[in-house]
Chains A and B, each alone.
Chain A
Amino acid sequence: MVVGQEVARFLFQRIASGALVIVFASALTFFFVNLAPGGPSSIMRFDVSAEQREALIKRMGLDKPVVERYADWAAGAIRGDLGTSLLSDEPVTQRIGERLPNTLILAGAALVVSILIGIPIGLIQALRRGSALDHLLSFYSAIGLAVPVFWLGIVLILVFAVSLGWLPSAGVTTISEDTLVERLRHLALPTVALATTTLPTIVRFMRSAALEVLDEDYIRTAASKGLAPRVVVTRHALRNALIPVVSAVGALVPRLLGGTVVTESVFSWPGMGRLALEAAQGRDYPLITGITVVVAGIAVATTLLVDLAYTRIDPRLRAS
């Protein structure tokens, strides 16, 4: 099976280069955060004496050279041990394990909402190019890009949680009543806030890709063949226009995983973004490096999936 071998070789190459990316990212992160001024919060506080500080530096092993510490960390990481959090004394893998699912849920929900709404809107704008509707939707996209999430988040809370009382203001669930319905109710507002920032990207990519495709000869041919406009749009135009949109989605995934800090803070959503922020502010070196490795891993995997998705959408790529 020649094709199977090629696919295997392609996958192997991609996975090997992905692993290299992850190793590089971990080393870069480890050395940079250690070079940053300051230190773990337990020693960088006003009410700690010089003597306490020294004891803690020793206890955390920070008196060893950075290279040696990285070697120790890397040796553990290969075995799946990402070290111990300096801020909580818990294993880094445990801390990430607690938070990653929440981030995946929020980012996934925002992405799904963005795609389900963004693709039809982008397509409609392309089909009605220059119309009042097109301008109106472009205007809304611009607002979506411009509105700061912390502000939008607070406004959503004030309107839907405080004034109307329809939805909970923060958290992932109700402590006393942890049901699927409660979880979905808690997910609603942060998803809207986060999707507002990602939706315009998808709308814009979809609109410009569709515009380009609609000008192509084959679309005119398909239309002149007498195909129903709906078939022309969905079967021919949409499919081809989706290729750049898929890569835009691929680019959004790492941004969503690393960039939901503000949304997570406003809605008290216990995800990776807030964890990363706490880790950076508190100079929790192993935790920052661990988070980087996990996010880099997800980014590498997403890129791979996007490439595989291309081959599904575009038959020409299957050969090459």
Chain B
Amino acid sequence: MKLDLSSFPFRTTSVLVVAALAVSACASPTQPGASTAPSAQAGPVSGGTVTMPIGADPTLNPWSPNAFIESLFINRVLFDGLTKPGKDLAPAPDLAESWTTASDGLSWTFKLRSGVKWSDGTPFTADDVAFTFNDIVLKPDLGAQNRASYAAVKSVTVVDATTVRFDLSRKFAALPSFLAYNAGILPKHVLSANPLTTTTFNKGTPVSTGPFKVDKYTSGQSVSLVRNENYFGAKAFLDKLVFTVVADPNTQVAQALSGDLQIMILDNKAAVDRMKSAAGLSVVARPLVQYYWLSLNQTDSRFTDVRVRQAFVTAIDRAAIIKSVELGYGSIANSPITPALAAYYDPSLASKYPYDPAKATELLKAAGWTPGANGVLQKDGKPFQFTMDVGQRGVLEPVNALIQQDLKKVGVIVDLNTMEWNSYIQKDVVRREYTATVNWWTYPSDPDVFPYYHSSAAGKGFNIPGYQDPKLDDLLVQGQSTSDLEARKAVYKQLQQYTSEVLPYLFLWYPQEIDVLSTSLKGVPELGLRDAMHYAGEWWLAKK
């Protein structure tokens, strides 16, 4: 019997839960289309509480090494950066009103908004910005999160109370975009003694600048935010924004169905149909600045031949992966620049490597791999066989199983080594003791992918395959060297074409995020939820 993995449900728990969901659908008193009639076309109104789930207790400090994904959503509401992702994802003003780069490109000057106050009423000044960078991010012994992104920053100088200058060791055109990405400014007057581990701040009621401030942090249960009356911009519409700790994604689904949650990311995509048919909920797909890849360790001589890499990407049925694992929410990737970065993305590359096992076989043959016994490819008497390490997280397990099947069809034998996530990171990322592995990158809304591709990051930095290529290095540096949008577009178009040709990583797909929103929740911009959090002050609830 042939096992068709493409239609094989990838998690037993998901299957059981979907079955349970189906049962409840029959029993549910609320049927699709029952009451979705919009209220009168009224404008935003104040009031109400919106509840959103997070997977664990957050750490309310964007630079803490313990601020994991569950912290990211709330920190983007609390802590304004100098910039924030605009609704087109280009950097937009936040605590800074405007910014310019020096003619030599070796510094950026930010003009700060005046009259901004912290939630405790203390004025916000340029000193807070200098403190956040000089005393936290740029202090090597603190190990602040994201500090690697600021390797080009030498120091931040206070020019006057509302002006700061970032001095650079090399050109860094993407700085305004990076400052919009988990780079909230922290209050010097509260944290100067202990910036990263003050628990009354990180796990209590921090002082912040955003449209909401923390009212109450209850460990293991919830963090309630209320309107920050000191906020510099328009006052938030919602009275309260509550982040409730719900570890189990299936419980999140159940809570959304019972009306306890007004907005969430649907991690368990198997539940999407049930959510779509629920009254009072709307389901939307949002682009992400994220892509999945297969990394082939370049210290293994079998993978340094570009024909082998091209053959693999041709042999892997990526459309089938998107269909079965992402239920169609995604598109094929052939470069690191995602469709979410619309100004830069080159759509012509999407059809570059159509699924074609015969073509893959040809490429492998050209690289010296010919069928031996049992149809397994071999070269110099050695079979083409290797191990892929699989981290237990998200969709990685079913994806690896599909890739294993596809490569088997062209005579390449893959053994899967499934590992607990933490141990996997140690083996594959810290020690780089791996042959091949699948994972993903999420990065700031800018095409500057230098940290993941430059030769200097091979072996120890974020260049996971350890691919080194002077031509690619040159393109990466060129992209960082000019702030002119048209010039950057041209560089990154070249970079996309080049990476799609040489395949430093094997690009797999660009995922989309599925967000579930209450139909009464309005004013949420059409962005991935991480980015939409920057606009929480504009969210409002229509009166029922």
Task: Give chain A's interface residues, CB within 8 Å of chain B.
Answer: 36-39, 41-56, 58-59, 87-90, 95, 98-99, 102, 148, 150-151, 153-155, 157-159, 161-163, 165, 168-172, 175-176, 265-268, 270-271, 274-275, 278, 281-283
Contact = CB atoms under 8 A, between A and B. Distances in A.
B258 A165 contact: yes
Contacts of A274: 220, 247
Given A48-B65, A90-B199, A265 B247 contact: yes
A88 B203 contact: yes
B65 A88 contact: no
Nearest to A264: B247
B65 A37 contact: no
A170 B242 CA distance: 15
Contacts of A171: 221-222, 244
Nearest to B440: A46
Interface in B197-245: 197, 199, 202-203, 218-222, 224, 242, 244-245
A153 B255 CA distance: 13
Interface string B280-314: 00000000000000000000000000000000000
7 contacts: A44-B430, A48-B65, A50-B461, A59-B141, A59-B142, A150-B250, A266-B250
B258 A55 contact: no
B141 A58 contact: yes
A41 to B, nearest CB: 7
A155 B250 CA distance: 11
Q: What 6 A-B pairs have minimum CB-CB distances, sorted nearest first? A: A270-B220, A38-B422, A55-B143, A42-B65, A158-B24, A37-B423
B260 A169 contact: yes
A87 B66 CA distance: 6
B24 A159 contact: yes
Nearest to B439: A46
B406 interface: no
Nearest to A39: B426
Interface string B1-43: 0000000000001001100110110011100000000000000
B462 interface: yes
Given A266-B250, A274-B247, A158 B422 contact: no
B99 interface: no
A157 B66 contact: no
A169 B199 contact: no
Given A87-B66, A158-B23, A265-B248, A163 B29 contact: yes
Contacts of A41: 66, 68, 422
Contacts of A58: 141
Given A47-B462, A158-B24, A162-B254, A38 B221 contact: no
Given A151-B16, A158-B20, 20 more contacts: A42-B65, A46-B439, A47-B146, A47-B462, A52-B148, A55-B142, A55-B143, A88-B57, A88-B202, A89-B66, A150-B13, A150-B248, A151-B13, A154-B16, A157-B258, A163-B29, A169-B251, A175-B222, A275-B220, A283-B422
Contacts of B21: 158
Nearest to B59: A88
Nearest to B245: A268
B389 to A, nearest CB: 12
B257 interface: yes
A52 B421 contact: no
Contacts of A53: 143, 430
B117 interface: no
Contact of B143 (A56, A95, A168): A56
Nearest to B443: A47
B278 to A, nearest CB: 9
B425 interface: yes
Contacts of B242: 175
A139 B16 CA distance: 22
Contacts of B146: 47
Interface in B449-484: 460-462
B251 A157 contact: yes
B63 to A, nearest CB: 11
A306 B429 CA distance: 50
Contacts of B250: 150, 154, 266
Contact of A172 (B144, B221, B422): B221
B381 interface: no
A158 B19 CA distance: 11
A239 B460 CA distance: 68
Contacts of B66: 41-42, 87-89
B170 interface: no
Given A52-B148, A56-B143, A162 B257 contact: yes
A175 B246 CA distance: 14
Contact of B197 (A46, A54, A89): A89
